[in-house]
Structure 1
Amino acid sequence: MSDVEKTGFIAKMIGPKKRWRAYKARVKELPEGYRAAVEAIERYLMHFVPIDADSNASTFEDLADLFEQAVVNGTPIRDVVGEDPVEFAEAFAQNYTEGGYVPARARKQLADDITRACGTGTATQDKTV
């Protein structure tokens, strides 16, 4: 393997990890409720929506962008994800993939996680702002 090939290989291996760490650092800086919402959507996307490796980093970076902007604008979490967080996550993922089968249990888990991230037992209030 030539030095150029080695450099390309190393860049491919380190690049995604570097982008992932940068994304995680951005999420960590979000206020608690927003961070919890992003992590819930992230978990859902990673486990139940097929996203190819090429678009994986972009997907999560765009998710961080969306929630960072919501924080700056004072937009409540429910205004970002709507009343159906599963629908939001699947529509969001469609920008990056062809979609796939998602078990009902995963849909309920995401909806429950977003409700908790909003800081309430009801789906209509948002006390994070």
Structure 2
Amino acid sequence: MTNWIESITGSFEQKKQYKRHAARIDALPEPYDAAAKALLRYFHYSGGITDGATLVTMVGDLADLWEQAAVDGTPVREIVGDDPVEFAETFVQAYIGKKWIDKERARLTEAIEDAERGQR
């Protein structure tokens, strides 16, 4: 039964790991929790990562980064730099896992190639 449910909803273990990492972010002191939550929100909207293992790893690494910054007292701006969007997008690019757009890119390329063959 579990295998059938997980095939639809995703791995229960990955969900548990994700929730543990999210709880670590929630436990960060200000202003680190606000910065980490803002980045996490951005990742969900812009990252497009559909591979659960990749997402869990990325969120765990995000929690590690901000926990260490909090321990060291590193200023938020020193972590994200002058452009938080650039930081976020560079961070996500480090996680090469599957993205929802990958399938659409392949479909577009194939459709254009099919159209091109039809013109010959």
Q: TM-score, normalised by structure 2?
A: 0.69
User: CA RMSD for the aligned pairs?
Assistant: 2.7
The sequence identity of aligned pairs, in percent, is 42
C-alpha distance in 1 between matches for 2:61 and 2:84: 16
Q: CA deviation at 1:100?
A: 9.6
Contiguous gaps of at least 5 residues in structure 2 = 102-120
Cα contact 2:21–2:60 (8 A) shared by 1: yes
Cα contact 1:49–1:93 (8 A) shared by 2: yes
Structure having the higher Rg: 2
Cα contact 1:50–1:100 (8 A) shared by 2: yes
Q: TM-score, normalised by structure 1?
A: 0.65
Is 1:28 the counterpart of 2:26 in the alignment? Answer: yes
Matched length: 96
Cα-to-partner distance string for 1:67-116 (whole Å, 9 max, x where unaligned):
00101111010001011000100110010138899xxxxxxxxxxxxxxx
C-alpha distance in 1 between matches for 2:96 and 2:49: 5
Contiguous gaps of at least 5 residues in structure 1 = 102-129
Paired letter, 1:14: F
Paired letter, 1:77: V
C-alpha distance in 2 between matches for 1:32 and 1:19: 23
Paired letter, 2:64: D
Aligned residue among 22, 45, 48 for 2:46: 48
